[in-house]
Amino acid sequence: MSDSPSSVVVVVPTYNERPNIEALVLGVLAQGAGYRVLVVDDGSPDGTGELADALAAAYPGRIEVLHRTEKRGLGPAYIAGFNRALELAPDFIAQMDADLSHDPDALPLLVSAAHDAGLALGSRYVPGGRVVGWPTWRRALSRLGGTYARLVLGVPVADLTSGFKVWRPATLAGIGIDCLRSDGYGFTIEATWRALRRGDRVVEVPIVFADRIAGASKLSRRIVAEAALLVWALRWEKALGSRVPVSEMRF
C-alpha cells in the first residue's frame, strides 16, 4: 500500500458486477487516503448498485454511487461519471473496468506518470505489459484491433483500446466529453485520440491485464464493428478539419 499526496477519483462503470465490485473498490481504497471511487451503475439487476451503496455507507466520503435507470452502454456511463468527477475537482481522474482485469495496485504508477502528461494509459502492448488468461483468439483480436486503429489514425500509441487510464482534469474537460458518442472499444479509442489531437502528452505505462474470473464479458459484435468504423470517421475528421457526427453511427 502507498499513500499518495494527490487526490484521485476513480470512475468505475458497472453492469452486473456484484461478484467483483467489493474487491475492486477495496483495492482502490487501499492505495491511499487520497483515492475515492465513483461507481456508475446502469441499473444492474444482480444488485451491484445496492452492494455499492452498502460499501459507500461503510466508507463515507470515499465512495459515491451514481445510479442510472437502465443499461445504456459504457460510453454514456463514463460521460456521466466523468462529469461528476470533474465537479469533485480532484488532482486526477482515473477510469478502470469493474471486472478486476485492471489491478488497483497499478493505479499509483499511472498517477505518477500523469504528473508529467495529460493522460497516462495502462498498456498491455509496451515492454513489460502483458495479458493473462485470455484465449489465443481473444489476444489476437485485441492486438489486431489496436494495430488497426493505430495504423488508420497514424498515432504512436500501442494500446488504443485500453480502458485503464489516469487523466489530468484539464485534459479530460478539454476533449469535449459530452460530444463523445461511441461505445466500448470505440469510446476508449475516441477519448485518447481527442487528447492527442488537442496536443496533450499521452504516455503508456506497462500493465498486466488479467481476464475476469466472475461474471460475463460485455464484448459484442456491435462494439467491435463500431470501433472498426469509428477510426475511419476520426481519420476523416482530421482530414476535413471538423468533427464527424459519430453520434449518427448505429449498429
For the chain, the domains span 8-248
Extract the C-alpha cell encoding 180: 463523445
Most confident of 113-122, 127-136, 233-242: 113-122
Mean pLDDT across the stretch 44-64? 97
Q: Which 8-state DSSP code applies to residue 215?
A: S
- Three-state DSSP state, 40: strand
Chain mean pLDDT for the chain: 86
Asked whether the predicted pLDDT for residue 27 surpasses 90, the reply is yes
Assigned CATH for 8-248? 3.90.550.10
Percent of residues in the chain assigned helix, strand, coil, to nearest 5: 45, 15, 40
| CA pair distance 110, 206, nearest whole angstrom | 9
User: Cell 476523416 identifies what position?
Assistant: 236
- For 182-221, the pLDDT digits (tens) are 777 788 889 999 999 899 999 999 999 998 665 455 455 6
Other Cβ atoms less than 10 A from the Cβ of 138: the count is: 14
| CA gyration radius, the chain | 17
